[in-house]
A = this chain, B = another copy of it.
């Protein structure tokens, strides 16, 4: 679309970022451009929401909503394309991305992955075409991160062959549910399944998912259902978040999405997975696509914010320029380079890592569910969580910094940075709170991705980790084989080696992760002591555990960037990406310099060189800063803001 007018450096860089589903990206870019899909301020909620629904309807013929689903004849669709399409909406309006993600990703994903043939027949075409609009009713007012403890009940009544859905307490109210405020007619509802076989006492089998109608064709609440509207939020005005209370609502037995468990007419419960917790986390695992999509589209919006800020810094002049009458561009100042360019470098690393997550998910979801390698699935879950955290933390921070770096102009809604910031803010919370997910990543790492881990409570996990900790510390393998080979082939002493050497870079990142894992493992082993209080051990270790997660997130991003560069032929794009990688590495080291110095992985002299290096790398990227953000391929309409077009902003 805008490619013809750009130079070959930015085209080559864009090819790297666009990755395998470049055509899908272009399709959505074009859609954003022609429909003028940009966030707006001051539109009344009802109007904004209705507009988003219209935009969704316009996307159906583009085909990617259907690509997210397998067809009746077993064609697995194209999950990678479906995710990439939603990701690219991050260059448009995140309200639309979230509404589309709820419908096709979360609600659709629940029906697709947790349901069986009858559910697919009943709902699949309708939810693709938007005849069936649904929401994803998991979170409750009292429980967000701790979903095993949801309070909503679905009690099977054998006398009528129905489940009765109920909200027993104020805190069991479904809350913040996208679509529940207005448009959703159905809910993929998560509730404790309670049933009894003949002659048994009713018992809960843990959380299961049901398709529950909540509104009639006129949009009125069905009997027993009480929805309410969350109203204004910190952003995402086009998303109708709402609350749902159920008062003994009856649904048929077949409303249970029964791929992993079923209830017979007589109330007998059956499942191929014995443990309630493991079953629940297996179900959750199939919904990983939502987490991947949120990381991807959040990342795209972060790139948009950076593109706006860098382009402004390339036209806005401030203070006198020595030697001539003009003033300097903002991006000529070192302080301005330092606030934006390391974020651009990080955005490259995470964009590439995100593409890899999407590819892996695509591979796994392109084969029948049972055929995927469980170990691969497990590692994907960890990587999806890790990249979701890294990408959304980066994006949220980048949007805030972009606003600030554009001063007063950046605060005007017409220039969109505040809207992007507002919409992005919650990306660090939904689809898994980033702090909780960082902890999850660390837990997976510490217990060699054992599938038991998610099911354990804190105390249980500490016991398990303490038992495993010795082995983990010795044979942990967070590093991929390809990278390991690179490392093994090098005999260099990191301290003497060149910090721009990717081997050295990987060594430093890996050393941090290894060291942290080993020392956390040592702390956890104390839980083996007879008088140990496991919760106390956990509390004492929590901030250390979070460091493990953060180190792993950075390492994953670096590995992905190193891999991506290795695949490129010698070219200006490759040279530029190497400088981008160096800046990502140097600025990450600088951010963690205290740790590296304290643990003697970096000497004082090298520490000073790192600080200087960030400055030098910023200066080296300054001349190509425009190319770097052009390569994001942001549609022109998203950059058509007064501060990038008006004469008034420049002197």
Contacts and interface: CB of A to CB of B under 8 A. Distances in A.
A142 B597 contact: no
A594 B611 CA distance: 10
Contacts of A604: 597-598, 600
Contacts of A598: 593, 597, 604, 607-608
Given A232-B42, A334-B542, A319 B458 contact: yes
B408 A335 contact: no
Interface string A22-63: 000000000000000000011001000000000000000000
A272 interface: no
B594 A170 contact: no
Given A234-B413, A543-B335, A646 B319 contact: no
A269 interface: no
A295 interface: no
Interface residues of A, number: 88
Interface stretch (A422-430, A505-513, A579-587): A422-430
Contacts of A459: 320, 322
Interface string A601-617: 00010011000000100
Contacts of A403: 234, 425
Interface stretch (A143-151, A152-160, A192-200, A207-215): A143-151
Interface in A293-320: 318-320
A476 interface: no
Given A146-B318, A408-B144, A426-B408, A648 B171 contact: yes
Interface stretch (A82-90, A351-359, A532-540): A532-540
A649 interface: yes
A439 B546 CA distance: 34
A53 B147 CA distance: 47
A334 B539 CA distance: 6
A231 interface: yes
A648 B141 contact: yes
Contact of A411 (B151, B320, B426): B426
A597 B417 CA distance: 37
Given A232-B41, A234-B413, A404 B428 contact: yes
Given A145-B318, A607-B594, A647 B428 contact: no
A607 B234 CA distance: 38
Contacts of A176: 408, 411-412
A320 B458 contact: yes
B171 A649 contact: yes
Given A322-B459, A425-B418, A335 B231 contact: no
A339, A417, A608, A615 — which one has the most chain B CB atoms within 10 A of its CB?
A615
A651 B542 contact: no
Interface in A509-535: 533-535
Given A322-B533, A333-B539, A417 B615 contact: no
A421 interface: yes
A97 to B, nearest CB: 16
A433 interface: yes
Interface string A318-352: 11111100010000111100110000000000000
A590 interface: yes
B322 A42 contact: no
A408 B139 CA distance: 9
Contacts of A323: 535
A422 B141 CA distance: 24
B650 A546 contact: no
A66 interface: no
Nearest to A648: B141
A625 to B, nearest CB: 16
A401 to B, nearest CB: 11
A175 interface: yes
A407 interface: yes
Contacts of A334: 539-540, 542-543
Given A235-B418, A458-B319, A598-B597, A170 B230 contact: no
Contact of A429 (B230, B411, B414, B594): B411
Given A546-B335, A593-B598, A433 B418 contact: no
A142 B543 contact: no
B546 A647 contact: no
Interface in A154-201: 169-171, 173, 175-176
Nearest to A140: B648
A633 B497 CA distance: 56
A400 interface: yes
A357 B149 CA distance: 50
Interface centre among A45, A318, A600, A607 (most CB of B within 10 A): A318
A75 interface: no
A435 interface: yes
A620 interface: no
Nearest to A316: B142
A645 B536 CA distance: 30
A457 interface: yes
A376 interface: no
A3 interface: no
A484 to B, nearest CB: 29
7 contacts: A144-B408, A171-B647, A320-B458, A322-B458, A323-B535, A594-B607, A597-B597
Interface of A: 41-42, 45, 139, 141-146, 149, 151, 169-171, 173, 175-176, 230-235, 318-323, 327, 332-335, 338-339, 400, 403-404, 407-408, 410-414, 417-418, 421-422, 425-426, 428-430, 433, 435, 439, 457-459, 533-535, 539-540, 542-543, 546, 590, 592-594, 596-598, 600, 604, 607-608, 615, 646-651
